[in-house]
Amino acid sequence: MRADRLVAALLLMQARGRVTARELAEELEISVATARRDLEALSSAGVPVYPQPGRGGGWSLVGGARTDLSGLSAGEAQALFLLVGPAAAVSGEAKAALRKLLRALPQTFRNHAEAATTATVIDPTRWGEQLRDRPQMVDALQDAVVRRRKVRLTYEGRNREKTERLVDPWGLIDKDETWYMIAGTERGQRTFRVDRIAGAEITDQAAQRPEDFSLSDAWREVVGEMEERRSRTWATVTIESRFVPILKDQFGRHCHADGEVGGGLTRVRLAAPTPLDVARHLAGWGAMVDVLEPRAVQVELARIGAELAGRYGGLADRATGDDEDRKQPGEQNTS
């Protein structure tokens, strides 16, 4: 896992003082290109790693070789733990490495570094949405989570109405480039989409966080509730097997292929909150998708088709007539 490699690269530089990308690649049994990307990732995250060009060059920690991490500043230590912390939730090796690094830090840095390891959860599974750029707000919110500071949010709801609220930020979730924040409010735990946060003021007020709070567990509960709401209507369809990946990209985790049924077709199970939501997603496929069940989705597709035919049906007839008019004398219709 990459987090393990980043920690290993840092420890190797501390032991040797300087390493080349090739030496790191040989030591970790990875490609030179991967080693170079890992070193650049450490540098861009704020860890004091820098390259030295020319003969005898390589990558070094600022200040030369060390046997501990006492040379890191508070911000640099926090950046390192934010970078590798999320992987510790799924990798025992990364978790063990972070514990060793934490013990090597000066006592004054440990609280923020330890908080950084649990400030973010990465959930790679999509909900069938388009990928988004990382919001600029993420870094500021991560800092508030780590330093335990209340945040005054200006939040835009689904109805576009903006409200202000003072929250205790508990953690951030990166769900395949869509970011969420779980926070404590006057009404209890709430989940906010970061791209709907119109403004965030980090205050000097100390934030409260339950002692037994686990960001990973809290996010699993949120996902469970969302899944229940988003998968209330299931439909069975058939589609050409070559289009199944596109359908999966459209519906995210609510798309399950049940196997081929012959003739180059695959049976697929799809889900959305309502029959109308399923129909809206499938309407653009036209006759390329055959809905086998339920009837409610078939009815909604028929209604959408009738509406479109009523509004645009005349255009198809007109286009056919225009094509006929453009044919040259003597040209035969080979269609």
**149, β-bridge pairs:** 206
- Which CATH number do you get for residue 277? 3.30.70
On whether both 103 and 185 belong to a single domain, the answer is no
- The CA R_g of the chain, rounded to the nearest whole Å, is 27
- Total domains present in the chain: 3
Residues in CB range of 108: below 8 A, 6 or more apart: 74
Mean pLDDT of 296-300: 96
Percentage with pLDDT > 90 across the chain: 32
In this predicted structure, what is the pLDDT of residue 282? 95
Average the pLDDT over 284-302 and give the result: 95
Task: Dig out the tokens for 166 from the structure.
Answer: 């003072």
Is cis: bond before 294, omega within 30 of 0?
A: yes
The two three-digit tokens of residue 233, written as one number: 């209507």
Residues 27 and 88 in one domain: yes
Residues 13 and 101 in one domain: yes
Domain boundary among the residues 195, 229, 263 is at 229
The answer to the question of residue 78 being in a domain is yes
Which 3 state secondary structure label does DSSP give 17? coil
Residue 332 lies in a domain: no
In a domain, 193, yes or no: yes
Closest C-alpha among 75, 95, 99 to residue 86: 95
The CATH number of the domain where 201 resides is what?
A: 2.30.30
The mean pLDDT of the chain is 77
**Residue-wise pLDDT tens digits, 241-280:** 999 999 988 888 789 999 999 899 999 999 988 999 999 9
pLDDT tens figures, 184-199 = 999 899 999 998 999 9
292: domain range? 231-324
Question: What does the pLDDT look like over 21-74, one tens digit per residue?
Answer: 888 888 777 888 888 888 887 776 667 777 777 666 788 876 543 434 445 555
- For residue 179, the model assigns a pLDDT of 87
Report yes or no on 334 lying in a domain.
no
Residues 11-15, mean pLDDT to the nearest whole number: 70
pLDDT band at 122 (very low <50, low <70, confident <90, very high): low
In a domain, 220, yes or no: yes
